[in-house]
Amino acid sequence: MADMVNVFLYGKKYEVPSDLTIMEAMEYAGYKLVRGVGCRNGFCGACATVYRIKGDRELHAALACSTKVEDGMYVATLPFFPLIKEVYDIEKVKPDEQIMMQLYPEIYSCVGCNACTKACSQGLNVMQYIAYAQRGEFDKCAALSFDCVMCGICSSRCPAGISHPQVAMLARRLNGKYIAPESKHLTERVKEIQDGLCSEAMEAIMAKPIEELKELYNHRDIEK
């Protein structure tokens, strides 16, 4: 019999095994999580969660898929955080400071509190990549924000109202379109796929177990 803990999901008390993640605990309690959740056929980062431990005044933010339950945990999920997403044509914008001033001027109101970094579920240095975006250093912003899953937890803690994930997305698009050198290997492989030359190789990869796929990914050759 597994050790059990008491958690409160949306204000209702449940007794669940202590070795579960918040997401698993919700499913154990009878909630069905499919729409919007990355590892349940949706989008990674959509299981943003806020919680508080009984007797603790601090409000914590995390991803439900990777955070273990604790006894006396009060949980509420944020399946959607209302980030500001500006519309632009990547073919027409330019990789300079003016584009950030035009689309996301709130980044220049950053007070340097570092609440975004402290809240990040991926452990990213969010405040630093926003600083790079302010200076128009989009390649550095893109590199530092590469692992962002767009959950919006950083923005939920920002007093300046910055939409950090959308700023980072714009920086990565600008970097990929205008700054980063062309990956010849990728261009050639895309053409091979379009010409139907990789069908057998793709089928072979799809047939591999998940652990072998992880091993292949983690030890892949990365073009400089």
Binned at pLDDT 50, 70 and 90, residue 1 comes out as low
Which residue intervals of the chain bear CATH 3.10.20.740?
4-77
Output the pLDDT for position 224.
62
Q: 4-77 belongs to which CATH class? A: alpha beta
CA distance 217 to 99: 35
How do 48-53 and 73-77 pair as beta strands?
antiparallel
Output the pLDDT for position 185.
83
**pTM over the 0.85 mark:** no
Average pLDDT, the chain: 88
Digit-coded pLDDT (tens) for 125-170:
999 999 999 999 999 999 999 999 888 889 988 999 999 999 999 9
CA distance 46 to 39: 10
pLDDT at 207 over 70: yes
Output the pLDDT for position 184.
85
Digit-coded pLDDT (tens) for 165-205:
999 999 999 999 999 988 888 889 899 999 999 899 889 99
Q: Which of 42-46, 76-80, 129-133, 215-219 has the least mean pLDDT?
A: 42-46
Could you tell me which residues are beta bridge partners of residue 73? 7, 53
Digit-coded pLDDT (tens) for 87-124:
999 999 999 889 999 999 999 999 999 999 998 888 89
15 and 6 Cβ atoms separated by less than 8 Å: yes
